[in-house]
Amino acid sequence: MTPPQAHTGPTHTGPTPAGRRWQWRSPGVVSSVPSTRRKLRHLLDGTGLSSDEIEDLVLAASEAAINAVEHSPPSQPFFDVCVEFAGGVVTILVRDHGRWRPPVPDSYRGRGLAMMCALADTTVTPGEHGTTVAIRSRRSGS
């Protein structure tokens, strides 16, 4: 099965009642992660966040995207990204369509979730049809 093609850029879904929103789908392959980082940096550049805050969000979202790639089932080899900016808060959602696998204790892997939580307000919601990672940061000065 051929993986779905990524959008060339985020789709601006227009203003929401509270702010702005962009979303896109990327193939569930590791080579999609750098493109996701570039898109996020470009979108976050106009939010008023400091460069450190932007890098923290991008790094956390990158880790979520890598996890999404690892969890993508062959039947749905893609992950979705949504970025919302409203009320001084940036929210990045990364959703895969696989099954949640808890970290393996005493392994060299499984530290990504701890890193995401250290970088931003991170919530992981596993479900029957995929896992959604919500990464949030307050805008500077708000």
Helix (H) or strand (E) holding 15: strand 11-15
**Residue 128: its pLDDT value, please?**
84
Among candidate residues 20, 16, 139, 132, the one with its CA nearest the CA of residue 81: 132
CATH superfamily of 11-138: Histidine kinase-like ATPase, C-terminal domain (3.30.565.10)
CA angle 125, 81, 33 (to 5 degrees): 105
**Residue 51: its pLDDT value, please?**
94
Q: Any bridge partners for residue 83, and if so which?
A: 22, 92
| Cβ within 8 Å of residue 108, ≥6 positions away | none
**Residue 87: its pLDDT value, please?**
84
**Residue 142: its pLDDT value, please?**
43
Helix (H) or strand (E) holding 25: strand 19-27
Q: HSE of 127 in the Cβ direction (CA atoms, 13 Å)?
A: 10
Model confidence band, residue 93 (pLDDT cutoffs 50, 70, 90): very high
**Residue 96: its pLDDT value, please?**
92
Q: What is the pLDDT of residues 31-46, one digit of tens each?
A: 999 999 999 999 999 8
